[in-house]
Amino acid sequence: MIKHFLSLSSFSQSDLLSLIHRAQFFFQNQHRPENIHHLLKNRIFANVFYEPSTRTRCSFEIAAKRLGADIVNFVPDNSSVKKGETVYDTLKSLESLGVDGLVFRHADDYIIEKLQPLLKLPLINAGAGKFEHPSQGLLDLLTLFQEFGKLEGLKIAVCGDIKHSRVAGSLMVAAKIFGMSIYLCGPESLVPAVTDTHIQKADFDEILPEVDAVMMLRIQLERHENLDLDPKSYHHQFGMNHRRQLSMKKHAIILHPGPFNRGVEISDDMVEHSQSRIFKQMSNGVAARMAILEWTMSGRIQ
């Protein structure tokens, strides 16, 4: 059976916890190659990214190599895409060339569900459209679990361009699975309608003292047309800064999936503040993606 990793919603709570524990094992053994380097030996993955990426693409590559696998980085600008090749034909070509799995990112909201039934090898959603970013969701859950030892009952504020954020999309899916409370904050035009009991809109400054974590999101200018954004004004209304950090609980943490715009949604001094786990998220990204790659090949969660 082909094991696609497309959405957190396809996993049960127990299976996601198994993936989190496996990712924690990889995190703890990242500097012990003798424990992990053989697990995906002779496997080949292809990174197929039709949108720019630093953290996701590089962490999947590092994850594959730490497991002993090889990886091919497909670059659309230097490929037959320039000659009119379709996305489907590109993926089928890579399949025919013998790769074992596809790590795929694209701007189209619905392309994953169109392609998945047509492929005979695992497809990993590395951020398709604006709905979900499940590997980011897993690393965020890993970060929260490391910090609090649990997920159920956690309160998380999400602030920024939520309407266009696949990171927020996966976090909201996870909230339903684990019973977390998500508070959506930001400009009214960028906060979607709420349809779930675990998710509600909130005023950013009012909810900050109540939450265990705050996920800051950048304004995705590439997904907007004619958006009039004044960085200074936005930071005053919705930015994470020293004033807002002081209103948070002492144990609360600051998260951000990156890339971050310093001085817009987060001030320079908050990026590496003692309550920030932003770079810890990046480290966890490799471990979470190792767990994902192994799962797609093994056909079972270990």
Residue-wise over 187-202: b if at least 16 C-beta within 10 A, else e?
beebbeeeeeeebeeb
- The candidate with the shortest Cα–Cα distance to 272, out of 261, 280, 264, is 280
Q: Is 133 part of the annotated catalytic residue set?
A: yes
Shortest CA distance to 97 belongs to which of 37, 45, 39?
45
> Looking at 22, 43, 56, 235, which residue is catalytic?
56
Q: Rounded to an integer, what distance in angstroms lies between the CA atom of residue 268 and that of residue 289?
A: 28
Per-residue DSSP letter, 193: P
State the catalytic residue, choosing from 57, 66, 105, 130. 105
Could you check whether the bond before residue 134 is cis, i.e. omega within 30 degrees of 0? no
Angle between helix axes 55-66 and 278-298 (nearest 10 degrees) is 50
Active-site residue, selected from the candidate residues 133, 218, 244, 289 = 133
How many angstroms separate the CA atoms of 134 and 4, rounded? 11
Instruction: Please confirm, yes or no, whether 83 is among the known catalytic residues.
Output: yes
- Residue identified by tokens 């909130």 is 202
Among 31, 83, 120, 250, the active-site one is: 83
Q: Mark whether 105 is an active-site residue.
A: yes
Kindly name the residue from 3, 21, 37, 55 that is annotated as catalytic: 55
Strands of 44-49's sheet in order across: 70-74, 44-49, 101-106, 123-128
Task: For residue 55, indicate whether it is catalytic.
Answer: yes
Helix axes 134-148, 55-66, angle to 10 degrees: 80
Q: Is 32 among the residues known to form the active site?
A: no
List residues with catalytic annotation: 55-56, 83, 105, 133
